[in-house]
Amino acid sequence: MISVKNITKKYAKQAACDNVSLNVKPGEIGVLLGPNGAGKSTLIKSVCGLLKYDGEITVNGFNNRSIEAKRILGYVPEFPSLYPMLTVWEHLEFIARAYRLENWENFADELLLRFDMADKKKKLGKELSKGMQQKVSVCCALVTAPQAVVFDEPLVGLDPHGIRELKTVITDLKTEGKAILISTHMIESMEENWDITFIMKNGRIVREIRREDGLLSKLEDIYFSITESEGETGESK
Ligand code: ADP
């Protein structure tokens, strides 16, 4: 569903992503794990069509810059950027109109309820805390009922209730057959239900671990042996 082939993204001469490839299938949760500066956000933004890069990215077979791909891809950025003078509900309405959604209101209400935001519908963007903005951002990404969803450091800034709810929502998305790609520097954050973890270092995916490899209990050791080693790519595959 989310297919990344040989992506290279350079800032000046430095490659933030260096020949990166990955696949996340329908019903799978892929986690991009790596220290700060590993290239996770660059890759996530490339997948969402926000950066220029060399290589090919498709969503359900459609080039990620096509309308078809944008229609089925949801994106929750690391930093929510709401319109200060639009209410929570107007943000959802704005997305609904842009995507020409029909009968979206009940679903939008359900999403707000799940995230404890039902009583904040009339609040302006500028009146919301960082965590509330994050929740609105998640609701905006999900109201289109995307087939693939990309989350950039989604748990940062959420309160414990928000974290629990978002994890449940992500699990539900997986159960519904959506493809999920999540970037995080918190190893423990997604351990419940990830299917495939991509460990990034210096712009490269240096290790791919699938749940069925049975290495869940060793993930932390593997992560540190890779990210703390001196070499360009850490441990060999
Ligand atoms: P991560 O999300 O894993 O923390 P990033 O993708 O943000 O990593 O950054 C990867 C590398 O690219 C870092 O060395 C960072 O300094 C560099 N980088 C990211 N964005 C820019 C930018 N807009 N201009 C120049 N360098 C950048």
Whether 36 shows a pLDDT value over 70: the answer reads yes
> What is the best residue among 20, 32, 42 to mutate for testing ligand 1's pocket, by most ligand atoms within 8 Å of CB?
42
- pLDDT bin (cut points 50, 70, 90) of residue 232 is low
CA of 14 to the centre of ligand 1 (A): 9
Confidence of residue 132 (pLDDT cuts 50, 70, 90): very high
Mean pLDDT, the chain, whole residue set? 91
- Least Cα distance to 41 among 12, 11, 66, 77 occurs for 77
- CA-to-CA dists, residue 118 to 45, 121, 123, angstroms: 30, 6, 10
What CATH topology corresponds to 2-81+148-227? Answer: Rossmann fold (3.40.50)
Residue 234, pLDDT > 50, answer no
Q: Are strands 14-24 and 204-210 parallel, antiparallel or unpaired?
A: unpaired
Specify the ligand 1 atom closest to the Cα of 36.
Answer: 4
pLDDT, residue 155, reads: 85
Q: What is the C-alpha separation between 233 and 136, in angstroms, rounded? A: 37
Ligand 1 touching residue 34 (CB < 6 A): yes
**Residue 236, pLDDT score:** 42
Judged against a pLDDT cut of 60, whether residue 26 lies above it is answered with: yes
Structure tokens at 64: 């990620």
Q: Which residue's C-alpha comes closest to atom 20 of ligand 1?
A: 42
Measured on CA atoms in the order 114, 110, 154, 190, is the torsion positive or negative?
positive
pLDDT confidence bin for 162, thresholds 50/70/90: confident
C-beta 38 within 6 A of ligand 1: yes
Closest-CA residue, ligand 1 atom 5, reads 39
Q: Which residues of 83-102 are buried (b: 16+ CB within 10 A; e: fewer)?
A: eeebbbbebbbebbeeeebe
Q: Give pLDDT, residue 190.
A: 67
Domain residue extents for the chain: 2-81+148-227
CB of 79 closer than 6 A to ligand 1? no
Contacts of 71 (CB under 8 A, 6+ apart): 99, 144
Residue 228: its pLDDT value, please?
83
pLDDT per residue as tens digits for the range 80-126: 999 999 999 999 999 999 999 999 999 999 999 998 899 999 999 99
Nearest-atom number in ligand 1 for the CA of 200 is 3
**Interval 16-30 mean pLDDT:** 96
| Strand ranges, E, within 25-134 | 29-33, 54-59, 62-63, 73-76
Residue-level pLDDT at 235: 45
In the prediction, which pLDDT does 174 show?
A: 93
Q: How far is CA 63 from the centre of its chain?
A: 18
